[in-house]
């Protein structure tokens, strides 16, 4: 699952609007919108602020190098 899908799904499951999520996480509304739209350049500390509300954090995952060569 992509990060933007995860955040949007969790936000909706918690019954939060984007402005409510932004306020609870201590980030701006624009940041939440960018995150849910899949913007590629976001500050990881702010991403983690949002993810902490759902009991998660950003982490390194192994990748399939064969996929990168295609």
What confidence score (pLDDT) does residue 17 get? 98
Q: How much is the pLDDT for 1?
A: 86
Q: How far apart are CA 44 and CA 46, in angstroms?
A: 5
Residues 47/19, Cβ–Cβ less than 8 Å: no
pLDDT value of residue 61: 84
- pLDDT (tens digit, 0 to 9) for every residue of the chain, 70 residues total? 899 999 999 999 999 999 999 999 999 999 999 999 999 999 999 999 999 999 999 999 888 877 666 6
């Amino acid at each position: 699952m992509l990060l933007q899908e995860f955040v949007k799904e969790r936000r909706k499951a918690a019954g939060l609007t984007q402005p409510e999520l932004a306020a609870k996480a201590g980030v701006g509304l624009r940041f939440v919108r960018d995150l849910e739209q899949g913007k590629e350049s976001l500050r990881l500390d702010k991403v983690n602020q949002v993810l902490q509300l759902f009991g998660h954090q950003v982490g390194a995952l192994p990748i399939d190098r064969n996929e990168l060569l295609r």
